[in-house]
Amino acid sequence: MALFYSCRSQDDINARAISVDYKNSKQIQLSEYFTLAKVCPLETTPENLIGHIKKIEIYNTDFYILDEANNCVFHHDSSGRFINQLNKIGRGSQEYMRITDLKVNDNGIFILDYSQQSIIQYDHNLQFIRKTHLDFFASEFLLQQENIFFYSERANNKQDYCFYSTDYQGNIVSSYVQRRGLKHECYNFQSSNVFCFNSDSLFSPRNSNYIYSQSHPDFAYKLDFKDKTFPEDKLNIEEYDLYSPQFPFIVREHLYQYNNHLFISYFYNKKRRFAHYDMDSKQSLFNGEFINDVIPQFRFFPQWQKNAYWIDCIDSYTLLNAFTDIAKKILPTQQLQDTDNPVLVIYKIKDIIK
């Protein structure tokens, strides 16, 4: 089974469009949607000096942190206390070369080794279980009950797809969204998520306005930013510098899902905005900026999501120097140093969002 870019009728696109009217942006108090669940400084020891957090997984209330700079996984408990780390770099059968993604579930810890084109599984005690080789260079993945769903980087061949589904032995079951040809590539170092947070079915190519589902024959939704919608049916967004002042379009940042609600973050006029869409009623419920009255004067920058919890991570230097008064309020008993590990700020979406 293969899904790919095709000629789509305008009626189809209009019927599945999520309208994001950036000109009519509103402001809403964050407390109408969220409460503060936890502020958690990650313990700093000589054994776990965190460089750059690429991914955070929550399992049984513990935090598993993919540190891209140190090429390892740190394990902290729910209070932030450091427990241990996965650090097995090498070319051996139980080792990895470069981790680009991480998942943790009841079956253990799964890492994606981009350099060796493989998924490696360890148990929760960091003991090796298996290594599965892939026929493509994947950079992100999603664990499903019977299959593993991958986002693959460009391979520059005729049968080049954005997404592949494999069984747990690495055999390709399905491929999704065939890539266009590329005249030249413009590397954008910041990008959107490809697997919708907290969803096992919605996915979207990087920086794309089309949102797909494995069960849908073409596409599930199309983001409509009005006159600032990138015409990706005609042009290839990989050929454009998204951060150039001359780039005139709006490009989505992240996709979040909670129950039947879909949230889309994007930037306009250097401000982060959110669009809220009810997938059952097919209604756009909100578009605009969240004003953080949960932690007044603080940013709202959720970088990951686990169920009802939206996770922000801020380095200690920025927290202490850019938000000095706020740091004293949210960490009144914590003797935080600006060289310490980052602090997690975790919000919980309210039950009113059913």
| Closest-CA residue to 38 (of 354, 347, 335, 351) | 347
Three-class secondary structure assignment of 285-347:
EEEEEEECCCCCCCCCCCCEEECCEEEEEECHHHHHHHCHHHHHHHCCCCCCCCCCCCEEEEE
CB 101 within 8 A of CB 140: yes
Distance separating alpha carbons of residues 255 and 232, to the nearest angstrom = 18
Mean pLDDT within 30-40: 97
- Strand order in 108-113's β-sheet? 99-105, 108-113, 118-122, 128-133
Q: How confident is the model at residue 159 (pLDDT cuts 50, 70, 90)?
A: confident
Residue 279, SS3 per DSSP: coil
Which residue in the block uniquely carries the two structure tokens 């797809």?
161
* pLDDT greater than 60 at residue 6: no
Average pLDDT score over the chain: 92
pLDDT > 70: percent of the chain: 93
**pLDDT for res 16:** 86
**pLDDT for res 158:** 67
* pLDDT greater than 50 at residue 142: yes
Distance separating alpha carbons of residues 258 and 255, to the nearest angstrom = 10
**pLDDT for res 15:** 66
pLDDT digits (tens, 9 = 90+) for 250-300: 999 999 999 999 999 999 999 999 999 999 999 999 999 999 999 999 999
DSSP state of 180: P
- Does 316 or 4 have the greater pLDDT score? 316
Q: Hey, where are the domains in the chain?
A: 13-349
**pLDDT for res 168:** 96
**pLDDT for res 353:** 59
- Does 157 or 217 have the greater pLDDT score? 157
* pLDDT greater than 60 at residue 312: yes
Mean pLDDT within 91-96: 95
* pLDDT greater than 60 at residue 341: yes
Q: How confident is the model at residue 146 (pLDDT cuts 50, 70, 90)?
A: very high
Q: How confident is the model at residue 50 (pLDDT cuts 50, 70, 90)?
A: very high
Q: Which residue type is seen at 200? A: D
**pLDDT for res 281:** 92
**pLDDT for res 169:** 96
**Residues 114, 116, 121, 123, Cα dihedral to 10°:** -100
* CATH 3.40.50.300 is held by the domain 13-349: no
pLDDT digits (tens, 9 = 90+) for 57-72: 999 999 999 999 999 9
* pLDDT greater than 60 at residue 354: no
pLDDT digits (tens, 9 = 90+) for 171-192: 999 999 998 888 777 877 667 8
**pLDDT for res 249:** 97
* pLDDT greater than 60 at residue 303: yes
Residue-wise DSSP of 69-127: TTTEEEEE-TT--EEEEE--BSSSTT-BS-EEEEEEETTEEEEEETTTTEEEEE-TTS-
**pLDDT for res 115:** 95
